[in-house]
């Protein structure tokens, strides 16, 4: 038996001001999206903004439904928005922020498993790592350099 260890690095910034102006702009657009979330059931708002290689930005927020399994995550709305508008341009950075109306969450919250799988699909589609920026109510921002770090041994189209 062999034990295989994979290392995972991510970067923590004390606040948005430590990000590049482009990343600050992207995170601000994600924050603005918190007001567009439709989350009457969970009261958990998610805002997202994706920057493409040509510098265009597409946004999204979570959209819930009385039939709970139909709820769509904010990250996916943003990525699908980008892919529907500019299918051949690679996403380079995805900013995600959350706000739970029932409690304050200080630490950055990272995307759910389904969203990790979808982000991975777009990385593979364009052969371009997608940087992920995460922020919650607190000032701290996490940066993850590729979704592969959040989805080790991921399933992808090469198996099909
Ligand atoms: N949600 C997201 O938008 N992204 C995630 O990564 C996790 C969960 C949404 C789905 C639902 O509207 C609410 O947050 C609570 O799960």
Does ligand 1 lie within 6 Å of residue 47's CB atom?
Answer: no
Say how far apart CA 26 and CA 57 lie, in whole Å: 8
Per-residue pLDDT tens listing for the chain (160 residues): 999 999 999 999 999 999 999 999 999 999 999 999 999 999 999 999 999 999 999 999 999 999 999 999 999 999 999 999 999 999 999 999 999 999 999 999 999 999 999 999 999 999 999 999 999 999 999 999 999 999 999 999 999 9
Does ligand 1 lie within 6 Å of residue 39's CB atom?
Answer: yes
Q: Quick count: other Cβ atoms within 10 Å of Cβ 3?
A: 4
| pTM passes above 0.95 | yes
Provide CATH code, domain 21-151: 3.40.140.10
Choosing from 33, 46, 98 the residue with most ligand 1 atoms within 8 A of its CB, the one to mutate for a pocket test is 46
């Amino acid at each position: 038996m062999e034990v295989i260890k994979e290392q995972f690095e991510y970067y923590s910034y004390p606040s948005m001001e430590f990000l590049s102006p482009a990343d600050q702009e992207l995170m601000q657009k994600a924050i603005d999206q918190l007001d567009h979330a439709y989350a009457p059931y969970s009261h958990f708002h998610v805002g997202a903004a994706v920057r493409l290689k040509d510098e265009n930005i597409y946004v999204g927020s979570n959209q819930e439904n009385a039939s709970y399994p139909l709820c769509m995550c904010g990250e996916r709305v943003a990525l699908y928005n980008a892919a529907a508008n500019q299918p051949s341009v690679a996403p380079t950075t995805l900013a995600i922020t959350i706000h739970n109306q029932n409690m304050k969450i200080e630490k950055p919250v990272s995307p759910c498993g389904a969203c990790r799988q979808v982000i991975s699909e777009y990385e593979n589609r364009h052969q371009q790592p997608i940087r992920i920026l995460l922020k919650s109510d607190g000032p701290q921002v996490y940066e993850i350099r590729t979704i592969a770090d959040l989805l080790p041994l991921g399933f992808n189209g090469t198996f099909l």
